[in-house]
Structure formats: C-alpha cells, structure tokens
Amino acid sequence: MTGSSILMIYTGGTIGMKQDPKDQTLKPFDFSQILEEVPELGKYALNIDSYTFNPLIDSSDVEPSLWQSLATLIKDRYDEYDGFVVLHGTDTMAYSASALSFMLDNLTKPVIFTGSQLPIGVPRTDGKENLISAVEIAAAKDEDGHSLVPEVCIFFDSQLLRGNRCTKVSSEEFRAFRSPNYPALAEAGINIRYNRKAIAEPQDWSAPIRISTNLDTRVSILKVHPGITPQVMRYFLCGDGTRAVILETYGSGNAPSSQWFLDIVREAAAMGKVLMNVTQCLSGSVDMDLYATGKALEKIGVVSGRDITTESALAKLFCLMGDSKDNEWVKNRLGDNLKGEISK
C-alpha cells in the first residue's frame, strides 16, 4: 500500500460539509485541502489527489450524466492511480455504485464509494472514519501487487459492501447500508479483515479498462400494492415512454391473481416491453415457480430478477438497453450474472 496513489473524487453530499465559523451554516469544504481537514490521512505514505465536481450536488439530484462523467474520469485517469474513492451523498449512492459497476469493464482497481450521515466538520462525524478506511482499502494490495478489492464497492460504518448489492436502509443510523443477499467484502475493526472468497477477481489483470456510457433510461418502477388500479398499471406498463418496467412484487415474486392484472401485463409483453420481476423484500429472491401468479407472470415473459436489488436492476437495464435496441437480447442478458449482482 505504501507509495500508492489514490484519486479522491468529490461529487457532493453531507460528507464534505463543514460549519462556516461566520454564520454556522454548513458549506462544502475545499477537497484540495483534505489533509487539513483529515490530518490522519497524512500518516499513510500515500499520494492522494482530489478532483471536485462542479457544481457539487446533493445526491438526490444525481442524474445518469453524473455516472457518465464519473466513468469517463476514472477511465481517463486510470493509469495514474492505484485506486479511486468517490465521495457521494448517501441518498442515491446505491444507484450510482450499481451503475458504475455495470459501466466499468475489466476493472482491476478499487472504486470505493463512501459518504457519511454527519458532515466531516462536526464532532461525532462518521465521515472521517469512513473516508480514512475507504482510502486504506483503495490502496490495499495483495502479495502479487494486485489490488485487494478490484470492484466497485460502498464502504460505510466499518463494512465494505459490493456496490451493486447495496441498499440504503436507514436515514439516521450510522449503518446506513446493507447488502442483504451477499456477504461483506471486508470488515474494519482493529484490522481490516478482507473476505477474500467473496471478492471477485478480474478475468485478466492486464486487460485495459473499458467503459460503456450508452444508457437508455426508459425504465419505470412499479411497486405492486393492495388496491392498485388498472389505470395505474396501464400507465406504468403500457405508456409510450417506457421500454422496460421493473415490477416490484411481493415475497418470492407474487402479484395479484386477478384477470385484469395479468391481462395488462400480457398487453405490455405483447407491446415488446422488457418486464422484470424484483421482490419488495429486503432479502431473499424471486422464485416464479413457487406460486401460481409467479408462474403466470413467467409464462407471459416476465423475467425473474432473482435476488437483485431494485437499484441494481435499474442500472442493469439502463446499461443493457444502452447497449442494444433489441429487447429480446436485453431480456436474455438480464438473467446473466454480469457483475456479481445476482447469486448463482
């Protein structure tokens, strides 16, 4: 790790705020002065550069264009650095980390997203510990000199999680993220313990990084709920603006069994829409063979999202649809485990 170079990319969010002594309001601080704010980082013999997005944004304003800029920045600076730390608001961090995991191909270096619940400039902040550990992980190498974690991850409250497996579960607790269907890649205690069996190895350490920045965002997400009406269903599933629909269903992929419900799904399928079944449950998987409605959806052509998160399903669809105009091809690829986002 000694001598490694890290690029710290600040996009906005709570972590980079500090109190203005004049009026006590929270303002973003200058990341080029990061060592003044977090002098602990100076104890590592690392070369840390920073890049600050302009404008800085609250992550509720994140758009796919930010992901395109991030992917391009990482590709352009890839050879100069051993790892990347992305500072990002927590609200949409799971979406951004999922998107980057699909947009970066042949990744051999860590891209670690982090942020915080309390600004770095206030007492009791969780930002310092998150940032310091994220930097240490981004710089960590194995005995062969390869990065220990060549993946897009989220580091938060002492856990390193695969980015496309995460979801934000708390707006208050320091443990804001969970990866319900995949184990943590590392735990930071007195030492950082890497779960090396869970970390994906690149197929070829020498393959050059590639990025896919074509994204097709014509996706809608419909959470099935008691009392859902045909009007709402038809609007989401059959509207002109959507090419794909994520149906957030109950439990292991269940939905109402009424004829009108299945008829509208059939209508959307006949229009050629890509329909994906993702569970509303925090953990566990869709299994469309388990119940009659699940089976009926499968017969209509709805694709099982298995144990994917909604955030990851959205990002996967954006990327696959950006790659091809052929919806049948997209449906076939949805079942493939592209970046560790679904279990085998």
Is the omega angle on the peptide bond into residue 110 within 30 degrees of 0, that is, cis? Answer: no
119 is a site residue for ligand ASP (CB under 6 A) = no
Cα gap 284→281, rounded to integer Å = 7
115 is a site residue for ligand ASP (CB under 6 A) = yes
173 is a site residue for ligand ASP (CB under 6 A) = no
Query: What are the DSSP calls for 238-287, one per residue?
Result: H-TT-SEEEEEEBTTTB----HHHHHHHHHHHHTT-EEEEEESSSSS---
59 is a site residue for ligand ASP (CB under 6 A) = yes
Count residues near ligand ASP (CB under 6 A). 10
Residue closest to 278 by CA, chosen among 321, 223, 228, 317 = 223
Q: Which two tokens stand for residue 89?
A: 């608001």
- Judged by CB under 6 A, the residue of 4, 90, 130, 164 near ligand ASP is 90
89 is a site residue for ligand ASP (CB under 6 A) = yes
Mark 262-301 with x for binding to ligand ASP (rule: CB under 6 A) and - for no binding.
----------------------------------------
125 is a site residue for ligand ASP (CB under 6 A) = no
Interface with ligand ASP by CB under 6 A: which range of 89-97, 140-148, 151-159, 270-278? Answer: 89-97
Q: Residue 262: is it exposed, middle or buried by C-beta count within 10 angstroms (0-12/13-18/19+)?
A: middle
Interface with ligand ASP by CB under 6 A: which range of 6-14, 127-135, 252-260, 318-326? Answer: 6-14
Q: What's the closest the beta carbon of residue 60 comes to ligand ASP, in angstroms?
A: 6
Interface with ligand ASP by CB under 6 A: which range of 10-18, 158-166, 189-197, 320-328? Answer: 10-18
- Judged by CB under 6 A, the residue of 31, 41, 71, 91 near ligand ASP is 91
Could you give the angle at the alpha carbon of 33 between the alpha carbons of 27 and 39, nearest 5°? Answer: 105
**Active-site residue, 242 included:** no
- Judged by CB under 6 A, the residue of 8, 13, 154, 165 near ligand ASP is 13
Sign of the alpha-carbon dihedral angle for 284, 285, 291, 293: positive
Cα gap 110→85, rounded to integer Å = 8
Strand partners for 219: 244
Helices and strands in the chain, H and E counts: 9, 18
Cα gap 264→246, rounded to integer Å = 14
163 is a site residue for ligand ASP (CB under 6 A) = no
60 is a site residue for ligand ASP (CB under 6 A) = yes
Q: What's the closest the beta carbon of residue 172 comes to ligand ASP, in angstroms?
A: 11
Any idea which residues carry the catalytic annotation?
14
Interface residues with ligand ASP (CB under 6 A) are 12-14, 58-60, 89-91, 115
